[in-house]
Amino acid sequence: MNRLKAILTALGHGITERLWRLGFAARFFFLLLVHSGQTFSRPRLLLREIWFSGVLSLVIILVSGLFVGLVLGLQGYETLQRYGSSEALGILVALSLVRELGPVVAALLFASRAGSAVTAEIGLMKATEQLKAMDMMAVNPIARVVAPRFWGGVISMPLLAALFSAVGVFGGYLIGVVFIGVDEGSFWSQMQASVDFRTDIMNGIIKSFVFGIAVALIAVFEGYDSIPTAEGVSRAITRTVVTSALAILALDFVLTSFMFRGL
Amino acid sequence: MNRTVLDFWVGLFVAIGIASLLFLALKVGNLGSFSPSQTYVLKAAFDNIGGLKVRGAVKSAGVVVGRVSSIEFDPKTYEAVVSMEIDTHYRFPRDSSLSILTSGLLGEQYIGVDAGIDDQQNLDGSQLVTRTNSAVVLEKLISQFLFDKAAEPPAPKP
């Protein structure tokens, strides 16, 4: 009987702990939005964060986008040419990049490149008591440290996803048209005929925007909430990458089922 | 990090990000190809629309002149009523006929407009266009072919 009671207590403790953390994250998000005004009235803070999370992620985004496009071109051609419709390669590459791979893979790379860096930075600031020192100087650490990092990530993410898709389409073009020799005119014209601006490209942008909010929020929250020790910060970084990846994939499914139903 | 260098790189990043968005919209997507400023609505009744979809093209002589805006089923006449938005620059005679065609063997379906000869009156949205040809359904075509084949007298054996 006592054993059962202990098991139930442990279960309940685990659930309330997680719910409490979720509620804390929600309150943190609200506080972050309230204190966001300073971010936009001091654009220099924001510019620095766009530099850190956007510009420094450019290399990994561009190179991976190119390789994803190249692979899509090769694999797509292999399958399509069996049915004698290798001209449809442009549609395949563009639709898979713009709708899914662009936002999702760019967000996964962004979480591991920029999200982890943001968590590490804020976590170390907490561990070395810089956040407390700011509070002592009447500088709100959420307005000064957290909000610019959050908005920097939110602004960078859609741009990075668009770059990923564009470079990927170029990679598909390189393999399909330049190396294999698919007809260039039908590659582009079939692509333009079936990729719709509103249903495909806009939905991709909305997806990448939502992923940007999710990844940036998880990154700043894990950093702010980390245990201020070396081990605590390293665990917070791991949690950022894992939680972001799960959140991106789950959100992707939810968004896709809303956006592309009946197509 | 020097301030101007940082500004330069952030500016470059945002610029190429927006440039790639434009590339996606204009070169990959269909935003640049056909976006009429002013349109008028035509409605046509078809026996069978096959695989026609909303946002499908309306072409005349191979040129895109409009897009399909909605497809409905009329429960009284058991026909499909297709509404299309046509660019106001293009007017078609009253006796024009609409047919559902396929681009290529397995391509997407679109509405083709064959202009008529009546130069007094043009088509407008006031009445349903009934001079239409339905989509070709492959199964019907095959069964027609088999039926004709069976009706033929058997070929004399050599």
Mean pLDDT value of segment B84-104: 85
| The predicted structure's pLDDT at residue B35 | 58
What six digits make up the tokens of A62? Answer: 């561009």
Mean pLDDT of chain B: 82
Q: Return the pLDDT at A217.
A: 94
A92 touches chain B (CB under 8 A): no
pTM of the model: 0.77
Distance of CA A102 to the CA centre of its chain: 10
Tell me, what's the pLDDT at A44? 85
Asked if B13 lies within 8 A of A55 by C-beta distance, the reply is yes
pLDDT band, residue A262 (cuts 50/70/90): low
Going from the C-alpha of A97 to that of each of A73, A94, B112, B144, the distances in angstroms are 11, 5, 31, 42
Q: How many angstroms away from the CA of B153 is the closest CA of chain A?
A: 37
Average pLDDT for B135-139: 79
Query: According to the model, what pLDDT value does residue B36 have?
Result: 57
Across A1-15, A40-54, B93-107, least confident range: B93-107
Tell which wins on pLDDT, A248 or B97.
Answer: A248
Contacts of A204 in chain B (CB under 8 A): 24
What mean pLDDT is predicted for residues A159-182? 92
* Residue in B closest to A92 by C-alpha: B28
Q: What is the pLDDT of residue A259?
A: 85
ipTM over 0.85: no
**CB–CB of A111/A156 below 8 Å?**
no
The helix or strand, by DSSP H or E, that contains position B60, with its residue range, turns out to be strand B57-60
Nearest-by-Cβ selection for B20 from A51, A162, A196: A162
pLDDT for B32 equals 57
Asked if residue B1 has pLDDT above 70, the reply is: no
Long-range contact set of residues A40-46: C-beta below 8 Å, sequence gap at least 24: A40/A151, A44/B3, A45/A144, A45/A148, A46/A148, A46/A151, A46/A152, A46/A155
Whether B17 contacts chain A with CB within 8 A: yes
